[in-house]
Structure 1
Amino acid sequence: MAEPSLYNSNSVRLGNGRKLALHALWIGLIASGVVWLVFHYFVLVKGEFGPEHSPFEPLTLKVHGGLAFLALWFGGMMWGTHMLKAWSQKRRRWTGTLLLLIFATLIVSGYLLYYAGDEGLRANVSLIHWIVGLGIPVLYLLHRLIKRF
C-alpha cells in the first residue's frame, strides 16, 4: 500500500507553510527595497562635511540583497512545484509569464547593480530595478485574482 502524500502532486497550489514563507519573503523584499528608496532619495543626515546619506541606507541594501538570494532559492522551488504544473494545466499563463519576466528582469538588473562598474549604467539599471520592483504587487494580485489569464 502506498504511503499517503503530504500534498496533491497534481495541484499547483502551494501548501500553507510554503505560501506563508513566500509571502513573508516578498513582503520583506518589497519593504526593504522601499525603505532603501526612502533612505537613498529622501533622508539626509547632518555629517561632518555637510549632508550625507543615512547610515541605515547600507543596512537596508544588505537586507534587501540577502532576501534576494533567498528569493532565488524560492524561485527554483516555485519552478518545480508550481510553474511547470500550472503551465501543463494551461492555468494563468499570461500573468504567470509576465511575473516570470519581471523576476528575470529583477535578477539581471540586481546582478548588474552588484557587478557593473560603470556609474552611468548603474544609475539607469537602478531606476529600472526599482520601478519594476514596485510593480510586482499589482501584477501578483492580478495573477491571483484573474482566473482566465
Structure 2
Amino acid sequence: MNAVPSRSPLRLSARRRRFCYGVGLGLWLSGAGWLLFHYGLQQQGSFGPQPHPLEIWWLRVHGAFAFATLWAFGMTWSAHIVGGWQTLRQRWSGGAGVGMLLVQILSGYLIYYLVDDAWHDKVALMHWMIGLTLPAVIATHIVRGRRPRR
C-alpha cells in the first residue's frame, strides 16, 4: 500500500499547484516579453519607429495565459482562498495577491475593450507595473505559508 503524503486541507494538490505556477509563469513571461518587444525592440522604419513583428504574438500568448489564469483563479478560490480567509492566517499577503489579481483582470479588460485613448496609456502603465510585481507578492505568500506555525 502506498502512503499518500498528508497535506493541509488548504494546500492545493501537487498537480493543481504545478498548473497554477505554470500558468502564472507563462502569464508573467508573456507580459514581460510583450514589454520587451514593445518598448525595447521597436524597429526603425521609413516613417519612424515600427512595432517588432513578434510583438503581436507576445500579446496573443499573454491573452491565452490570461484566460487560463481566470480558470486557475477560480480553482484556487474554491480550494484555497475561501478556506484560507477563515483561518485568519496570512490575510495581508493573500488579500494583496487577490486584490492585485482583480485589478489586473479589470485593467486587462479595460485595455482591450473599453478604454479610450486618453485613458489607455494610464491603465496600461498601471497594468504592467502591477503585473511585474505580482509574482513577488505571491511568492511572499507561499514562503510565509510554508513556515511552521508558532
TM-score range, shorter chain: 0.7 to 0.9
Alignment match of 1:94 (pick from 83, 92, 95): 92
Which of 12, 25, 28 pairs up with 2:26?
28
Q: Deviations over 1:64-87 (max 9, x none)?
A: 011101111111111100001111
Match of 1:82 in 2: 80
Aligned-residue Cα RMSD (Å) equals 2.1
Aligned to 1:133: 131
Q: Percent identity?
A: 36
How big is the shift at 1:114?
Answer: 0.6
The 2-side partners of 1:52 and 1:126 are apart by: 19
The counterpart of 1:63, out of the listed 51, 61, 64, is 61
Match of 1:143 in 2: 141
SS in 2 for 1:146: helix
Question: Quick one: structure 1 residues 103 and 96, their matched pair in 2 at CA, closer, same or farther if it must change by over 3 Å?
Answer: same
What stretches of structure 1 of length at least 5 have no aligned partner? Answer: 1-5
Distance change >3 Å, CA 60–CA 13, structure 1 → 2: same
CA distance in 2, matches of 1:123, 1:28: 24
> Quick one: which of 122, 143, 147 aligns to 1:124?
122
Quick check: 8-17 or 49-58, which moved more?
A: 8-17
Report if the CA contact (8 A) 1:10-1:85 is conserved: no
What number of residue pairs does the alignment pair up? 143
Q: Is the 1:7–1:15 Cα contact (8 Å) retained in structure 2?
A: no
What 5-or-longer segments of structure 2 have no aligned partner? Answer: none
TM-score normalised to structure 1 length: 0.88
- Quote how far apart the aligned CAs of 1:58 are: 0.7
Partners of 1:103 and 1:128 in 2: how far apart? 12
TM-score (norm 2): 0.87
